[in-house]
Amino acid sequence: MVRVNTNNRYYIQQVADMTGLSKQVIRKWEERYNLIRPERLPNGYRIYSEKDINLLLHVKTLSEEGMPIRQAVQLADKMGGETVISPKEPSLQMSRLNEFVLQLLEKGNRCDELELMITLQQANYEVGLSALLDQVITPFLQEVGDRWERGEWDEYQESVSSLAVRDYLVQLRRNNQHHPEAPVALAACLPYERHEIPLHIVLLQFMLKGWRTFLVGASPAPGSIEAVIQKIRPDIVILSASSSIPFEEDPDLLEKLDAFAAKQPNCQFFIGGKGAIAQKAAKELHAIHLTDDLEDVWERIEIGK
């Protein structure tokens, strides 16, 4: 693919990769609705700006919510490519759709693992770890999942993109230097749960606050979480269940973990994830706090000091 220069201009294939729209649709919206006005090189190639990309994504989001294309174009053009305000909270907020997210979507669409890693490294260097986690990786992964659910990306595109992010997060944690007397945070997927990326993100946020971090990764053996806790004696434990599979495999899992947590007076336990939240409706927990808000975790930690 021909590369553009560094002033945030893109060729139509790159725009198609970033937005999930076909080149034919991009041209159609340009010619029929005058939505965007790309520059033209002497050879006739179109060159698009980030504002053009945001306008295209704005119209795409509104149309997916049921708004007619012409009306969506009028609204997007009126807002000038600014943040999409939607009652249904579209998965990829335009305020977070910065250059690095767009680049990651382009590389992920082409399953270019090396370029994904290079882009993550560049983003970390330029914006710092905190912004990388919150403003680049989180919205990127959200859009990856949504594109896979909508059938715009296949399983391989989703897998390559997710694994590249996971590997980079693992690398960041491994390279971290911590004080030996720092408090300890342990994060663990529940048995049979394989989605570990959210825990890597949480642990890196703890790392930024000076904590030592440990991870019990994807689908640990039953009983291994308790064994690790008894061995390293963490100050806080974060459990995760993004799916309902752990509770389908072991209906009493939450009760057993809650009973174990009650016997660890010097450790605070938290659990999050869609699967855990759905399960909590039918279960009463006494020693494990249910939350999907990291700020709530920080507040409880402060109260518990």
* All domains of the chain in start order, with CATH: 1-90 (1.10.1660.10), 98-175 (1.10.1240.10), 178-304 (3.40.50.280)
Distance CA 158, CA 149 (A): 10
Task: Sort strands 268-272 and 39-40 into parallel, antiparallel or unpaired.
Answer: unpaired
How much is the pLDDT for 90? Answer: 41
Distance CA 101, CA 246 (A): 32
At residue 288, what are phi and psi to the nearest 5 degrees?
Answer: -110, 130
Distance CA 214, CA 204 (A): 10
The stretch 252-259 carries a mean pLDDT of: 92
**pTM score:** 0.72
What angle (nearest 5°) sits at the alpha carbon of residue 280, between those of residues 211 and 145? Answer: 70
How much of the chain exceeds pLDDT 90, in percent? 40
Tokens of 28: 């159609």
CB 185 within 8 A of CB 212: yes
Going from the C-alpha of 6 to that of each of 3, 10, 97, 102, 126, the distances in angstroms are: 9, 10, 17, 14, 14
How much is the pLDDT for 169? Answer: 95
How much is the pLDDT for 261? Answer: 95
For residue 5, the number of C-alpha atoms closer than 13 Å in the C-beta half-sphere is 3
How much is the pLDDT for 303? Answer: 58
196-246 pLDDT, tens digit per residue, is 999 999 999 999 989 999 999 889 999 999 999 999 999 999 999 988 899
How deeply is 254 buried, as exposed, middle or buried, from its count of CB atoms within 10 A (0-12, 13-18, 19+)? buried
The stretch 258-267 carries a mean pLDDT of: 94
11-39 pLDDT, tens digit per residue, is 888 888 888 888 888 988 888 888 888 88
